[in-house]
Amino acid sequence: MKHKVAAVILGAGKGTRMKSDKPKVLMPVCGKPMIVHILDTLKKIPVQNVVTVISPEGQEVAETVHPFQTCVQKEQLGTGHAVNCANELLQDFNGAVLVIFGDTPLIRKETFTKLITKVEEGYSVVVLGFRPAEAGRYGRLVMKGNDLDRIVEYKDASDDEKKIDFCNSGVMAFDGRYLFDILAKIGNQNAAGEYYLTDAVAVAKKMGLKCTALEGDPCEVASANTLEELAQLEQFYMKA
């Protein structure tokens, strides 16, 4: 890697669907909180700056990730808004910035490194995709050669687009020089009134920036919203 690397971990989610008072990212996989698995991997790269986005009640998360920095997402206004909360801490960062969901603890150092390398090759937005056994309701990644043309949410996808089996994991890497300019241009004209990180691709393309996607292993990009999915992560971890 030629330049410094930073990471933003989205860690403001609650553990409600896991029937726990604990923040979701502190739920354990094989005895270790999910977010600690991520931090351990980032240290191997190594990543110079790590910022975890927490909720106003996220003190336990802040203590867990210490001495890495945190910022507070005061309102849940979408994934794009969550990443933008790290603006003050990373606004002058010149290098690749990984954006990672705190409930995806199994992504390997090698995969993150591939994303970073693509940024260093000149891509401003790099999305980690995967091909699940059933594409279901995942967002689809529409490629044009080596370039990512757009991300289409399932509900907005045409019949042809629904046939695409290359899906969005949510994990991305950005050129830090453009990250917050891109986020500032994302709107919230949607039913939820939220700022979606997936809109970053369309915004970047309008800015004349290059976007691409890389393929990861479906087990590696698995996330957990329920106790059943958490148990599945443990199975994947033990097989890795």
128: helix, strand or coil = strand
Where do the H-state alpha helices sit in 147-226? 159-162, 179-184, 200-206
Point out which residues pair with 129 in neighbouring strands. 168, 215
Give every CB contact of residue 215 below 8 A, 6+ residues apart in sequence. 129, 130, 131, 166
pLDDT at 41: 98
Beta-strand pair 32-33/28-29: antiparallel
Take residue 23 and report the two structure tokens written for it: 């923040």
- Residues 129, 167: contact at Cβ < 8 Å? yes
Going by C-alpha positions, the residue among 69, 64, 32 that lies closest to residue 52 is: 69
Helix/strand/coil for 24: helix
* Residues of the chain where predicted confidence (pLDDT) is lower than 70: 1-2, 15-17, 19
Query: What radius of gyration do the chain's Cα atoms show?
Result: 17
Rounded CA-CA distance 42/171 in Å is 14
Specify the pLDDT at position 16. 64
| Tokens representing residue 1 in the block | 């890697």
CA distance 45 to 118: 15
Instruction: Name beta bridge partners: 150.
Output: 142
Per-residue confidence (pLDDT) for residue 21, from 0 to 100: 79
Q: Which two tokens stand for residue 20?
A: 């726990």
User: pTM of the full predicted structure?
Assistant: 0.95
Domains and CATH numbers, the chain: 5-239 (3.90.550.10)
Question: Kind and range of the H or E element at 117?
Answer: helix 109-120
Provide the CB-side half-sphere exposure for 59 (13 A, CA).
1
Question: For residues 36 and 228, what is the distance between their CA atoms, to the nearest angstrom?
Answer: 20
Backbone conformation region of residue 95, classed left if phi is above 0, alpha if psi is from -120 to 50, else beta: left
How many whole angstroms separate alpha carbon 95 and alpha carbon 6?
7
d(CA 49, CA 212): 24
Per-residue pLDDT reduced to its tens digit, 171-194: 999 999 999 999 999 999 888 889
